[in-house]
Amino acid sequence: MAFTLTLGSKAPDFRLLATDGKHYSLSDFTSDYLVVFFTCNHCPYVKNSDEITRQTAEKFQKRGVDFVAINSNSPNTYEEDSYDNMVKRMDEHRFPWTYLVDSTQDTAKAYGALRTPHFFVFDQERKLVYTGRAVDNPREPELITSYDLENALEELLTGKEVTTPLTNPIGCNVKWDGKDPHWMPVEACDLV
């Protein structure tokens, strides 16, 4: 069985606490399309590409796409990834997405999150139509040559099939509780 959700899979449900103090489930996001992405507070790949993700979110939210960020990193591995620090980060940056904490890491396992950031795009039926990276150089934005997430969303919203539905996410490993910070599930190793 693949560790990461395969194309065509239904979005796994969740009920997670957001930085606004409310709990959200999959059904709370009712736009035609949904981007779920796994992120965190400390990763340089996330921090250096957050403004690009913001631009993508702002561009496509107007066109019927919800953006949901999930932090599944263990604060026992990186204190900076704690819920309190998530709240501070959202207060400081005012990102245009809902930011959820996956304290049990069950949602990361259900989706098969490999990296931060790792993006999953779902259609109206909440079937997976794109997964992977947003851009080809999230750590050094000035070197970006490919905007894979934007390309996928543009094709989706114009009724086309996604040309490149699968890319390797580029970033830090998800920080699994009780595991070495560089540990990845064996099933995931051939996917990155």
In Å, what is the CA distance from 61 to each residue of 105, 142, 162, 190?
A: 27, 25, 18, 33
Our separate counts of H helices and E strands in the chain read 4, 9
Q: How many residues does the chain have?
A: 192
Host H or E run for residue 101: strand 98-101
Average pLDDT value over all residues in the chain: 92
Span 141-162, average pLDDT: 97
Angle between helices 44-61 and 148-157 (to 10 degrees): 20
Burial 146-173 (b: 16+ CB within 10 A, else e): ebbbbebbebbeeeeebeebebebbbbb
Whether a cis peptide bond, with omega within 30° of 0, leads into 117 is: yes
Judge whether residue 164 has pLDDT over 80: yes
Using DSSP's 3-state secondary structure scheme, residue 75 falls into: coil
- The answer to whether the pTM exceeds 0.85 is yes
Structure tokens at 21: 């103090």
Confidence of residue 192 (pLDDT cuts 50, 70, 90): very low
User: Percent of the chain at pLDDT above 70?
Assistant: 92
Structure tokens at 69: 């960020």
For residue 119, how many C-alpha atoms fall within 13 Å in the half-sphere facing its CB? 31
The pLDDT, as a whole number, for residue 3 is 81
Model confidence over 94-139: pLDDT tens digits? 999 999 999 999 999 999 999 999 999 999 999 999 999 999 999 9
